[in-house]
């Protein structure tokens, strides 16, 4: 099994932690986020990982190396310019018929192999790992009708969503939808796939997941990892 890790971004929202280190190398306990992901991939049966690097690429490549210490074959693609969360895929050769593509800065205990197998079995062109989130709006929300008449009001409502985890399984032929050399995110690809009416599936995950976007997200993840590290790194991983 093959995974592509997107690790080329600057992580500006996570400053000051990313002032020196690239976001995938921000520490979790005694290892970095990226090292955690690679150890998990090996544990779940992956053999190869291709890391797309850009910002501070030399640091990532120096820390991770060829992947042998993780039991993986690790190779790299260097983005000459920022290409978004999937733009680099248009330049990659040798991808499997179906492969995993994920952000290199998420913290989860998802069994990545289950997602990839479910994707292959479904025959879909893309399968999106999804997670249930509830968001509370800390304000009164108005429902306004024609002529500015207020027709409804809810104080501090909560909304339930299924959100993208940043972990996806793709078929290789999806690359025909990604423009070469342009900034192109997973959001752009999703909208294009929907416009083209290709088969896109959701694969819901109910375990542990942290999107490390901002400093408060990072601190919550650190607290959770410190409390139950073996939930993220099973015995032998």
What per-residue confidence (pLDDT) applies to 105?
81
- The larger pLDDT score, comparing residue 79 to residue 158, is at 158
Token digits of residue 220 = 């919550």
Domains along the chain with CATH numbers: 2-130+164-232 (3.90.550.10)
Token digits of residue 40 = 């998990």
For residue 32, is pLDDT > 80? yes
What per-residue confidence (pLDDT) applies to 167?
95
Smallest Cα–Cα separation from 24: which of 39, 4, 12, 8? 8
- The larger pLDDT score, comparing residue 223 to residue 81, is at 223
Q: List pLDDT tens digits, range 176-231.
A: 999 988 899 999 999 999 999 999 999 999 999 988 777 888 888 888 888 998 99
Of 2-6, 27-31, 38-42, the poorest mean pLDDT is in 27-31
Partners of residue 210 on adjacent β-strands: 107
Residue 94, CB half-sphere, CA atoms under 13 Å: how many?
10
What is the distance between the alpha carbons of residues 136 and 210, in angstroms, rounded to a whole number?
18
Percent residues over pLDDT 90 in the chain? 61
For residue 170, is pLDDT > 90? yes
Q: List pLDDT tens digits, range 38-59.
A: 999 999 999 999 999 988 888 9
Q: Tell me the mean pLDDT in the region 77-85.
A: 84
Q: List all residues 6 or more positions away from 11 whose beta carbon is below 8 Å from its beta carbon.
A: 17, 18, 22, 23, 26, 55, 105
Residue 146, CB half-sphere, CA atoms under 13 Å: how many?
0
Q: List pLDDT tens digits, range 135-158.
A: 899 999 999 998 899 999 999 999
For residue 164, is pLDDT > 90? yes
pTM (two decimals): 0.87
Q: How far is CA 37 from CA 15, 33, 122, in A?
A: 21, 6, 25
What per-residue confidence (pLDDT) applies to 20?
72
What per-residue confidence (pLDDT) applies to 102?
93
What integer best gives the mean pLDDT of the chain? 90
For residue 171, is pLDDT > 90? yes
């Amino acid at each position: 099994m093959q995974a592509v890790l997107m690790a080329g971004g600057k992580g500006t929202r996570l400053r000051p932690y990313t002032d020196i280190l690239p976001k995938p190398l921000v520490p979790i306990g005694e290892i970095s986020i990226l090292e955690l992901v690679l150890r998990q991939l090996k544990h779940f049966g992956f053999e190869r990982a291709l890391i797309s690097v850009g910002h501070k690429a030399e640091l990532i490549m120096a820390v991770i190396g060829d992947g042998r210490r993780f039991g993986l074959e690790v190779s790299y693609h260097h983005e000459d310019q920022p290409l978004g969360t999937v733009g680099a895929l248009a330049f990659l050769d040798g991808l499997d018929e179906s492969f995993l593509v994920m952000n290199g800065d998420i913290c989860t205990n998802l069994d990545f192999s289950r997602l990839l197998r479910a994707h292959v079995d479904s025959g879909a062109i893309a399968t999106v790992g999804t997670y249930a989130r509830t968001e509370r709006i800390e304000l009164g929300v108005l429902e306004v009708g024609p002529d500015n008449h207020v027709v409804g009001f809810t104080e501090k409502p909560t909304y339930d969503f299924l959100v993208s985890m940043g972990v996806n399984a793709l078929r290789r032929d999806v690359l025909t939808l990604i423009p070469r050399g342009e900034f192109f995110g997973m959001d752009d690809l999703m909208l294009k796939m929907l416009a083209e009416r290709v088969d896109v599936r959701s694969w819901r995950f109910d375990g542990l997941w942290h999107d490390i976007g901002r400093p408060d997200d990072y601190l919550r993840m650190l607290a959770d990892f410190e409390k139950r590290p073996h939930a993220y790194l099973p015995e032998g991983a």
